[in-house]
Structure 1
Amino acid sequence: MTSFDARSVAEIDNLDDLYSVFDDLSVEGGWYRRAPALWPEPLRNFLPYVWRYAEMKAVLDAAGRLVDHEMADRRNLTLTNPVEGNGYATVRSLVAAYQLIRPGEVAPAHHHTPAALRIILEGRGTYTVVDGDRVEMRPGDVLLTPSWAWHEHSAVGPDDCYWVDILDVPLVHLLEPMFFEKYPAGVQEDPRDIDTSPIAFRWEDSLACLAAETAAPEHGMAEREIELGSPAMPTIALHVQELGAGFESPTRRTTANSIFTVIEGSGETIVDGERLTWERGDIIAVPAWRPYQHIVSEPARMVRASDEPVFSVLGLLRSEKV
């Protein structure tokens, strides 16, 4: 930084010389900006995208032969939105990944400030231990790992287990309170085996709650919908949606970012004019304020993870029919 001479500035008689002082002081004039700071509606930054489970599973299977837990705590595939300049996030504030654990393996314990959740796709005999509670991970279940909770995973059954991870890591990156620590002993000692837990939303319970719903949600994006938790975590809301064959939703947009995991069925989602076809296990990224519509071919159930709680508490949550 060059030394500031107030007398020289006082003698400036043209804007070009004044703007050269701005550069030296690392400031900008409100009347003279290189790029606008305000705009009429959210920008189209992150891209609509679909990741196909059949492709991701094949890659994970290859990694299962080549990558063990000595090489990495977790064998997962991060779903990086292909927008230029992005190196990590799936949508602005959330990241999703596919993960595989094989029989006999243990993913050792650690904790971190980002909140996480697991949506189980297939495989039995796999458990997660969260702050000392050992819970089985079954297909269709959604399991939570709150911020700073110790957690590990182990496969004691005969099946490879595949699931989807969703975390608020990009939000923590932005806000900067990132902390991460490995468990000193590797795994948590003497875990308690439990079946019912606030961190575990069982698929059979979700189905029963969906069946009990007598009215479609007001937004019309599904025929039936339930919320897991209220919200599930401070930064992530979870909704399980049911959509029958032939269902066509209205077109809506929201300031919240959404990641859909397809548990059952097939169809397509049109996001800002782009058609994304999907089937069981696929993941769909719907960025903020992009109009989207679901068109269903085979009866479908999806888990929608969104950052609605963040926008809601800040008074920035908007949604409208287009």
Structure 2
Amino acid sequence: MKDLDSLYAAIDALSLEGGWHRKTPSLWPEPRKNFLPYLWRYAQVKPILEAAGHLVDHAMADRRNLTMTNPVAGNLYATARTMVAAYQSIRPGECALAHRHTPNALRIILEGHGCYTTVNGTRVEMRPGDVLLTPSWNWHAHESVGTDECFWVDVLDVPLVHLLEPMFFERHPDQLESEIHNVAECPLACRWEDSLRRLDSAPRQTGAMAEQEVELGTPTPALKTMAVHAQRLSAGCVTPVHQSTANAIFTVIEGSGTTVVDGQALDWQRGDVFVVPAWRTHQHRVSERTHLIRVSDEPVMQAFDFLFKQNTPASAP
């Protein structure tokens, strides 16, 4: 090999790359901003789910859901790099049969009564505002025994499992678990009234992402890969500009306002979901008293000492 061309040809032929002439960098000074901030409006999604309830039965899909796919070029599924969110509904008399998978999951209930989830034999009611947890490899099924069509938001760590590759999925051989224990309360059901009570006694924070915030799940984090926080912000609140290496998906339980993400304004109201990808600056500007559920991959970042946060003072709207 007498010249660089022949050297590089030999390197390429063995599927190698010289560190001195990389085609693309492998290191960069701060996190790249790949996934996009985006908002999904419940008022637009709900009529589609209601129509799907009449057109899509369980012979076609035992989970009637609409995945919130981040619109970044090339993405086919994920909402954020490590998490995916979906709106889901279940009609009266329907049952989503039991299955289990390695991804962790949780449900944030938006509306409807008479809906239950069963996780590893424990059956508990799902009520508006509740967060229901489904840890990895737990059997789980859902059913509606009332007169309401029920709606909720799912958040799972499926994209993280895709990246790491330990994906396993199994349908229950008998469709449903045979031994069921009905309970009013359990650690997997984070009740909304409990979240409100805890927020009532939570100290008001200055210079933080929310005026009041509590972490849900016992013990915390709620799941090994995802943390869940309930946030309260008062009318007129303008938070500091926050930045974190963690990805976050927000569900609006009540209230309205705007979140400015890297200069992009996302106007939200009850039932909406919006994503703030990692290392995007964001600031909440609240129109009326608001409660948000923030789901993040902070536990993953903390496990590897990769969690970095910073705030800058709030500016006038």
Match of 2:27 among 18, 25, 38: 38
Name 1:273's counterpart in structure 2: 263
Considering only CA atoms, is the larger Rg found in Structure 1 or Structure 2? 1
1:255 to 2:242 alignment: no
Name 1:5's counterpart in structure 2: none
Distance in 2 (alpha carbons) for counterparts of 1:222 and 1:278: 16
Distance in 1 (alpha carbons) for counterparts of 2:303 and 2:292: 25
Contact kept, 8 Å, 2:208 with 2:311, in 1: the verdict is no
1:61 to 2:50 alignment: yes
Match of 1:151 among 140, 143, 157: 140
1:119-178 CA-partner distances (Å, limit 9, x unpaired): 000000000000000000000000000000000000000100000000000000000000
1:283 to 2:273 alignment: yes
1:224 to 2:215 alignment: no
Equivalent residue runs for 1:166-205 within 5 Å: 166-205=155-194
Q: Which letter maps to 2:300?
A: V
Residue 16 of structure 1 and its aligned partner are, at CA, apart by 1.3
Contact kept, 8 Å, 2:108 with 2:129, in 1: the verdict is yes
1:316 to 2:306 alignment: yes
Residue 188 of structure 1 and its aligned partner are, at CA, apart by 1.1
Q: Which letter maps to 2:247?
A: N
Name 2:292's counterpart in structure 1: 302
Across the aligned residues of Structure 1 and Structure 2, the Cα RMSD in angstroms comes to 0.8
- Comparing 184-193 and 251-260, the one that deviates more: 184-193
Distance in 2 (alpha carbons) for counterparts of 1:315 and 1:28: 29
Residue 44 of structure 1 and its aligned partner are, at CA, apart by 1.1
Gap change, CA 1:219 and 1:132, over 3 Å in 2? farther
Name 1:240's counterpart in structure 2: 230
Residue 70 of structure 1 and its aligned partner are, at CA, apart by 1.3
Match of 2:85 among 82, 96, 102: 96
Q: Which letter maps to 1:188?
A: E
> Would you identify which runs of 4 or more consecutive aligned residues in structure 1 move more than 6 Å?
none
Residue 69 of structure 1 and its aligned partner are, at CA, apart by 1.1
1:273-292 CA-partner distances (Å, limit 9, x unpaired): 00000000000100000000
SS of structure 2 residue aligned to 1:235: coil
Name 1:83's counterpart in structure 2: 72
Q: TM-score, normalised by structure 2?
A: 0.97
- Which blocks of at least 5 consecutive residues in structure 1 are unaligned? 1-11
Match of 1:207 among 193, 196, 214: 196
Name 1:112's counterpart in structure 2: 101
Q: TM-score, normalised by structure 1?
A: 0.95
Q: Which letter maps to 1:62?
A: A
Distance in 2 (alpha carbons) for counterparts of 1:174 and 1:236: 16
1:142 to 2:131 alignment: yes
1:72 to 2:40 alignment: no
Distance in 1 (alpha carbons) for counterparts of 2:3 and 2:28: 29
Residue 219 of structure 1 and its aligned partner are, at CA, apart by 5.0
